[in-house]
Amino acid sequence: MEILFLLVYAVVLGLVAPYISLNSENYGILVPGAVSLVWGGILWPILTWVGLSSNDAWIWTIVMVSMPAAMWFGSKRLHHLRSN
């Protein structure tokens, strides 16, 4: 159920991405949402393995703050790689 919520959150981030000046002409409009979803999908099991419960506020805070950051930095990195 938590992964489904991360999917919805990644979709919302992907919808917002074109409006926060992420240049998508080099990589497509769906990539920022996919980057954030992959990051959240990797980070959630790692934090669960470390010992955080899905009822903890810390796991939600860490994942919800890091997904937009991963979307931003991942998209910028991909834009830089594709423009060269």
Cα–chain-centroid distance for residue 20? 14
Instruction: Give the pLDDT score at 31.
Output: 85
Counted domains in the chain: 1
pLDDT in tens, 64-73: 999 999 989 9
DSSP symbols for 46-74? HHHHHT--TT-HHHHHHHHHHHHHHHHHH
- Residue 81, number of CB atoms within 10 A of its CB: 10
Q: What is the pLDDT of residues 2-21, one digit of tens each?
A: 778 888 998 898 888 777 76
Residues spanned by the domain of 11:
2-20+28-83
Can you give the pLDDT at residue 6?
86
Per-residue pLDDT reduced to its tens digit, 29-64: 888 888 999 999 999 999 999 999 989 999 999 999
**Residue 42 pLDDT:** 94
